[in-house]
Amino acid sequence: MNYNAALYIRLSKEDENKNNTNSESVENQKNILTEYANKNDYKIYDYYIDDGYTGTNFNRPSFLRLIDDINNKKIDLIIVKDLSRFGRDYIITGYYLEMFFPSKNIRFISILDNYDSINNINEYMPFKAIINDMFSKDNSKKIKAALRIKQQMGKWVGGCTPFGYSKDVNDKNHLVVNYEEAIIVRKIYSLFLSGYSINKIKEYLFNNKVKTPTLIRNNKKNSKYSKEGYWSSTTIKTILKNELYTGNLVQNRRCRINYKIRKLKNNNRDEWIIVNNTHDVIIDKEDFDRVQKIFKEKNVIKKNNKNNYLLTGFITCFECKKRMSFQKNKNNVYLICNTYKKYSKQRLCSSHSNNYKKIEKIIINKIKILMNHYNLNVEINRKLLLLLIKKIEVHSDKTIDVYFNFKNPCLSL
């Protein structure tokens, strides 16, 4: 049988930092795979190279392209140098080897493991997958421990520095004041302490053509609003609540859920690592504490006046995809697009409002019908909605799309 072979190559950043770089290098893997394919008369369809990607994360560009080519029946053989190059998560690796590849009639060869799925000659492959996974877990622990020691020593270990600071050219673990940005940080604190609200500060910065962090740092990943000079409330609040401006290094505020999941979770304050007087001050401690006191007082007022609606946090605008806010008008409650509300003069979104009670009634009735269809007699409350609903989009023509947390998620009302 003539095979169209995909030669898969992966090199992680951890591998690059090891002493055995040459043995694991992209070029070395490529040579081994090419020689093997030619020796066995396999036609090389393409090389799939993921350079700088960890083995526990399968969301890699070339790996995803490989899967697409499998689904499009362009290849029927995958060759890797060894199983660790394919992946280090034994659950996902096992899924591909035991289920996905056989279902697609894909032959899989791992050269150094002496494994060929067509012969199924190596019964120890699942154990090797577990060992590779354990290696990643152990490596993750070592990296975390090394970073924690640096944090406790007052060394900066983050990537992008907080607005107002840059990395010292002579020491990447030390922060120095970025004077262009520091002027803006001080102005934000000054405005807030003089009585300006967050929205008024945004308006002042925009009207005075003060560049956003995105514009100053040429960050291509941020939203189109910040690129056009519109400051966000989140950016200003982050600046106003960051103790780092007082000269204290605050780290370990967030961490990954585990070594396989890249999603971050917030740590409790008692888990933060704070080292005092590690870098130059931008904001005096006294001014910083005054700002925190104002925030605390405002939060108490906001908490006491807060209206909790059943669909709070679910409803977004169809045009700009931003959250819609609630606005009382006499006896009615209306949904207003937050983008239009904040940037009405700039016309970043159109003016549209919806009667909240009508939308809530429509959605509750539709969910009741859905529950009755499955013979479920349950109370419609926020706990249930959090389980069922991902988001609700409201169109300008009053139609509603409800996105659920399961397959075939969209229901238009």
Q: 144: helix, coil or strand?
A: helix
169/131 same-domain check: no
pLDDT of residue 232: 85
Distance of alpha carbon 409 from alpha carbon 401, whole angstroms: 10
Q: 408: helix, coil or strand?
A: coil
Per-residue pLDDT band for 139 (boundaries 50, 70, 90) equals low
Give a yes or no: residue 368 inside a domain. Answer: yes
Contact 80, 125 (CB under 8 A): no
Report the range out of 84-98, 222-236, 295-309 with the highest average pLDDT: 84-98
Q: What angle do CA 386, 388, 390 make, to 5 degrees?
A: 70
406/267 same-domain check: no
pLDDT of residue 130: 66
Per-residue pLDDT band for 292 (boundaries 50, 70, 90) equals very high
Domain boundary among 139, 166, 201: 139
Q: DSSP letter for 124, please.
A: T
Distance of alpha carbon 46 from alpha carbon 102, whole angstroms: 21
Domain boundary among 281, 305, 329: 305
Give a yes or no: residue 31 inside a domain. Answer: yes
The percentage of the chain sitting over the pLDDT mark of 70, rounded to a whole number, equals: 80
300/320 same-domain check: no
Distance of alpha carbon 173 from alpha carbon 249, whole angstroms: 11
Count of CB atoms situated within 10 Å of the CB of 18? 11
| Mean pLDDT on 315-335 | 79
Give yes or no for residue 99 having a pLDDT over 50: yes
| Mean pLDDT on 38-50 | 94
Contact 25, 74 (CB under 8 A): no
Q: What angle do CA 114, 119, 120 make, to 5 degrees?
A: 70
pTM attached to this predicted model: 0.51
Contact 249, 154 (CB under 8 A): yes
pLDDT of residue 407: 46
Contact 350, 317 (CB under 8 A): no
259/288 same-domain check: yes
Report the range out of 12-26, 194-208, 348-362 with the highest average pLDDT: 194-208
Question: b vs e for 248-287, b when ≥16 Cβ sit within 10 Å of the residue's Cβ?
Answer: bbbbbbeeeeebbeeeeeeeeeeeebbeeebbeebbeeeb
Give yes or no for residue 408 having a pLDDT over 50: no
Q: Which domain holds residue 319?
A: 315-412
Give yes or no for residue 321 having a pLDDT over 60: yes
pLDDT of residue 34: 94
Give a yes or no: residue 95 inside a domain. Answer: yes
Give the up-direction half-sphere exposure of residue 349: CA atoms within 13 A in the CB hemisphere: 24
Q: Name the β-bridge partners of 273.
A: 251
pLDDT of residue 265: 79
359/258 same-domain check: no
Helices and strands, number each (H, E), in the chain:
17, 18
Extract the tokens encoding 101: 């590849």
| CATH number for the domain harbouring residue 49 | 3.40.50.1390
Contact 216, 208 (CB under 8 A): no
163/287 same-domain check: yes
Give a yes or no: residue 146 inside a domain. Answer: no
Count of CB atoms situated within 10 Å of the CB of 222? 15
Report the candidate in 56, 63, 59 with the shortest Cα–Cα distance to residue 143: 56
The percentage of the chain sitting over the pLDDT mark of 90, rounded to a whole number, equals: 31
Sign for the pseudo-dihedral over CA of 237, 238, 239, 243? positive
Q: How many domains does the chain have?
A: 3
Give a yes or no: residue 144 inside a domain. Answer: no
Q: Which helix or strand (DSSP H or E) is residue 49 part of?
A: strand 43-51
206/289 same-domain check: yes
298/157 same-domain check: yes
Give a yes or no: residue 301 inside a domain. Answer: yes
pLDDT of residue 281: 94
Q: Among 135-149, 165-179, 226-240, 331-345, whose mean pLDDT is lowest? A: 135-149
Strand order across the beta sheet in which 43-51 lies:
43-51, 4-11, 77-80, 107-110, 115-116
